[in-house]
Amino acid sequence: MSEGERYLVVSHVDPDGDAIGSTLAVGHLLRLLGKRAVMVNASPVPAKYRGLPGAEEIARPQDLFDEPPFERVIAVDVADEDRMGDCRTLIAPDARLLNIDHHRTNDRFGTHHLINPEAAATAEVLYDWIESMGVKWSKPLAACVYTGLLTDTGGFRYSNTTPAVMKRAARLLECGVDAHRIAEQVLETLTIGQLNLLRRALSTLRLSEDGRIAWMWLTYQDFVDAGAGEGDLDGIVNYARNVDGAEVGILFRQLKGGAVKVSLRSRRRVDVSEVAGCFGGGGHARAAGCTVAGTRDEVERRVLERVVEALGR
């Protein structure tokens, strides 16, 4: 990397804490290294992540349409090109693209890759990269990496919470990260839109006969009525997976054009990234997603059939 180069830092649509935390961490890192960083996301930054250092600088693609295409791109937490949404239009066709990720389903769409499917979060991959460069941790850099670790492990509760994650998190606390404040903002605070949406989703909760699958629906109208945005979805699907006895939780969300976005969560038996993969999606063993075309009944039947099959194995 030479001085003064201009980098585009991008993550996936409907960003979670790992997507935002990793975008910001790479932004801070590039600046510490004397580079220019432009951060972008196809979706607005969810309210709970707006307090993170630098979050207000994350642009929308439409803000950058007048800029020349970017020749250097760093994509974080992005398993395939489509997940960048409209941000793809900002990238020059011959761009050098460094793909930093931890999805097993990553299709290696970059020109350079830093992918570790064993990592709990893209933030963990970043942690190791930053350490290997010998860069001194600034507080904002540490806070953003910490946020990715915190959120992708469900607050250090999911099965990806390894000793390595805890050691890295502890090191970040030693760098001055205010863990309590971050946890309060990203885990313990819900927008009213999120609660309104949750109320609507819970009213549709259904269970399979054996109780091993729990699912909920949200329509486009639910978002309008709840006064909610995409960012208010974070965590709702977990309520289905958390039902006692449920092995798989699903949230079906009707999109504007008629297709259905499917979010899948599993406790331990089912690899939901395989289920999502059957419909052109992907993700992780315990959390995955896909978009399926069809009517409400069709999509529900097809997805449930796949999950039943996966449970039977």
Binding site residues, ligand 5GP, CB under 6 A: 12, 14, 79-80, 83, 105, 237, 263, 281-284, 287-291
CA distances from 255 to 102, 220, 283 (A): 27, 6, 20
Least separation in angstroms between CB 10 and ligand 5GP: 14
Least separation in angstroms between CB 31 and ligand 5GP: 26
Closest CA to 146 of 162, 160, 166, 129: 166
Contacts 24+ apart (CB under 8 A), 238-244: 238/154, 238/265, 239/198, 239/201, 239/202, 239/205, 240/205, 240/214, 240/215, 240/216, 240/265, 241/214, 241/265, 241/266, 241/267, 243/205, 243/207, 243/211, 243/214
Least separation in angstroms between CB 283 and ligand 5GP: 3
Least separation in angstroms between CB 287 and ligand 5GP: 4
Identify which of residues 119 and 142 has a Cβ nearer to ligand 5GP in the complex. 119
DSSP class per residue in 163-208: HHHHHHHHHHHHTT--HHHHHHHHTS---HHHHHHHHHHHTT-EE-
Q: Residue 38 touches which of Mn ion, ligand 5GP, none (CB < 5 to 8 A by kind)? A: none
Residues lying near Mn ion in the complex (CB under 5 A): 16, 18-19, 77, 121-122, 152
Identify which of residues 11 and 196 has a Cβ nearer to ligand 5GP in the complex. 11
Burial of 313 (0-12, 13-18, 19+ CB in 10 A): exposed
Identify which of residues 142 and 198 has a Cβ nearer to ligand 5GP in the complex. 198
Least separation in angstroms between CB 74 and ligand 5GP: 17
For Mn ion, which residue has the nearest CB?
18
Q: What phi, psi does 275 have (nearest 5°)?
A: -60, -50
Identify which of residues 33 and 114 has a Cβ nearer to ligand 5GP in the complex. 114
Least separation in angstroms between CB 40 and ligand 5GP: 17
Q: Residue 17 touches which of Mn ion, ligand 5GP, none (CB < 5 to 8 A by kind)? A: none
Q: Residue 284 touches which of ligand 5GP, Mn ion, none (CB < 5 to 8 A by kind)? A: ligand 5GP
CB 237 within 8 A of CB 250: yes
CB 239 within 8 A of CB 201: yes
Q: Residue 45 touches which of ligand 5GP, Mn ion, none (CB < 5 to 8 A by kind)? A: none
Identify which of residues 34 and 117 has a Cβ nearer to ligand 5GP in the complex. 117
Identify which of residues 92 and 259 has a Cβ nearer to ligand 5GP in the complex. 259
